[in-house]
Structure 1
Amino acid sequence: MADPTPVLDDLRTESHELDQVVSALSPDGWTRPTPAPGWTVAHQIAHLAWTDHSALLAVMDEDGFRALGEQALAAPHTFVDEGAEEGASAPPGELLGRWRQGRALLDRALRDAPPGARFPWYGPPMSAASLATARLMETWAHGLDVVDALGVPRPAPTGRLRHIARIGVRARDYAYFVRGLTAPGEEFRVELVSPADPSETWTYGPANAAQRVTGPALDFCLLVTQRAHRADLAVRAEGADADRWLDIAQAFAGPPGAGRPPGGTGAGSPPAGTAR
């Protein structure tokens, strides 16, 4: 039973760092277009606030979340965009306050959740630790889009990426499922070089697995959040099934996204529940 405290602490830090970027923006900065077509900086923050609210419903109001899920099923390819559009129409100060309040409420709800509890989500049900990891993954991914839009340097990768790498590995079979494909029967070995210490490798799966994926942890996280095309990353596969996985990998719930084109930013948009 995973203690959610470490990932919740990392989510709080990740959110605070992005908050510092957007809280200093002029009104024009909020309207800056990001790599996701049709989404401004305001859309990115509105989506984070919207998904925090969805997660809070999942933890505190299962009936409310079920109703939200029914709306998503009724419009799977527009539901996320509609939520982001609605939030982005608010004045920047109001939107920022909404995001701050929502993430604080979710932080408290997840810290207070009973040990072993599982909550509904747009994909499989999640524990408090897994739900916090999903929020960290999204905050990091959307934060990259924000800083790219603003033309400021991307923050140096940290050990917080370990959470995102882990959820990316654990979501392997889900990536096949949402595409109507059969997942391989055997586990892969995944070996990722830590961004903070090149002598440290994060490993997942059996050491004697016939197929494996290797590369920098940063590149793997960019891949599974669909923030860069595989061709632009130093992630390598050994084995036909592992190679196929790298073409479809996603760490987020909901239908598959089109990803980013090689050599650029442009985007596809994975719908309900996670990283556009």
Structure 2
Amino acid sequence: MQDVYADLAVEGTELGDLVAGLSPEEWAAATPAASWTVRHQVAHLAYVSRLVRLAVSDAEAFAAETAPVREDFQSGMDAALAEYVAEPVPGLLRRWAEERAAAEKGLAALERRDLVPWPAGPLPASVLAAVALAELFAHGQDIRDGLGRPRVLTDRIGHIVFLGTRTRDLAYRARGLRAPAEPFRFELTAPSGELWAFGPPEAGQRIAGPAEDFCLLVTRRRHRDDLALTAVGTEAGQWLDIAQSYVGPPGTGRAPQ
């Protein structure tokens, strides 16, 4: 798998270039997230970039910034987002680019295993970079869906696949459920055709299919019925209904098309 820090920078630049060329009407276009326009999606990404920057550079400021989110996730995020949504588009783009660049620089200065704070608990720097990459993937998908723009995926999504397999139990915790004791086996086909496998080969609970579909599932950007993922075992099948790779309420997810 390629370097997660380099891949994060490339993904951020590609999405930044896409939205920089949008018309005012496109900035106001609705996206699949309820009541969110393209502008809301970019505002969210700018705020996440700020959180990553603070996490890798100023633990005290990060703790103060995220206190409202830890107290009430949704209201804290909504309040923080409002400041960014209110920015004129040029200012929002500039702010996102600056926060993104500072976050990328701060991450790259750390060792991959250095722990940094995050609302879910301390994470290795490389895992936080994968979290940031998953945010770009998910909200970039919302933007492209809202605008009707196709996307061409590369093996950079491997970091999101890795994150999705490592965070299997988040889906259960978000719903107050007990996670299965038995690990799952994941066998997922990369855009390049390479097979990515995670988990013990002998596991009875198994999930297989395209890596792209797996990323859409764990970021809750597509319903499982619209994806070519298969499950062996009751628990693996149930997990496909609730999978999520991020901290916070699961929301309603996407309806089947």
TM-score range, shorter chain: over 0.9
Is it true that 1:216 corresponds to 2:210 in the alignment? yes
User: Residue 115 of structure 1: CA displacement?
Assistant: 5.4
- Residue matched to 1:230: 224
Matched to 1:207, the amino acid is P
Matched to 1:191, the amino acid is E
Is it true that 1:168 corresponds to 2:164 in the alignment? yes
Is it true that 1:125 corresponds to 2:122 in the alignment? yes
- For structure 1, the residue ranges without an aligned partner over 5 or more in a row are 264-276
Matched to 2:156, the amino acid is R
- Residue matched to 2:54: 57
Deviations 1:133-161 (A, max 9, x none): 01111101111111111222x21121011
User: Residue 70 of structure 1: CA displacement?
Assistant: 1.8
8 Å Cα contact 2:225/2:256 also seen in 1 = yes
Q: Hey, what's the Cα distance between the residues in 2 that align with 1:33 and 1:125?
A: 34
8 Å Cα contact 2:208/2:230 also seen in 1 = yes
- Find 1:257's aligned residue among 235, 238, 251: 251
Q: Hey, what's the Cα distance between the residues in 2 that align with 1:70 and 1:129?
A: 24
8 Å Cα contact 1:157/1:196 also seen in 2 = no
Q: Hey, what's the Cα distance between the residues in 1 that align with 2:16 and 2:217?
A: 24
Task: Pick which of 161-170 and 67-76 moved more.
Answer: 67-76
Q: Hey, what's the Cα distance between the residues in 2 that align with 1:202 and 1:137?
A: 17
- Find 1:157's aligned residue among 150, 153, 160: 153
Matches within 5 A, 1:1-276: 6-114=3-111, 116-152=113-149, 154-197=150-193, 200-263=194-257
Q: Hey, what's the Cα distance between the residues in 1 that align with 2:92 and 2:36?
A: 15
8 Å Cα contact 1:122/1:254 also seen in 2 = no
Q: Hey, what's the Cα distance between the residues in 2 that align with 1:66 and 1:170?
A: 25
Q: Hey, what's the Cα distance between the residues in 2 that align with 1:238 and 1:124?
A: 32
8 Å Cα contact 2:70/2:119 also seen in 1 = no
8 Å Cα contact 2:214/2:229 also seen in 1 = yes
User: What is the TM-score with the length of structure 2 in the denominator?
Assistant: 0.95
Percent identity over the alignment?
Answer: 44
Q: Hey, what's the Cα distance between the residues in 2 that align with 1:46 and 1:158?
A: 25
Q: Hey, what's the Cα distance between the residues in 1 that align with 2:9 and 2:165?
A: 23
Deviations 1:8-38 (A, max 9, x none): 1111111111111111112222111111111
Total equivalences in the alignment: 257
2:3 is paired with a residue whose SS is: helix
| Greater per-residue helix proportion | 2
1:242 is paired with a residue whose SS is: helix
User: Residue 114 of structure 1: CA displacement?
Assistant: 4.5
Task: Pick which of 91-100 and 74-83 moved more.
Answer: 74-83
8 Å Cα contact 2:184/2:205 also seen in 1 = yes
- For structure 2, the residue ranges without an aligned partner over 5 or more in a row are none
User: Residue 75 of structure 1: CA displacement?
Assistant: 2.8
Q: Hey, what's the Cα distance between the residues in 1 that align with 2:111 and 2:185?
A: 33
Matched to 2:104, the amino acid is D
User: Residue 191 of structure 1: CA displacement?
Assistant: 0.4
1:78 is paired with a residue whose SS is: helix
User: Residue 79 of structure 1: CA displacement?
Assistant: 2.3
Q: Hey, what's the Cα distance between the residues in 2 that align with 1:83 and 1:69?
A: 9
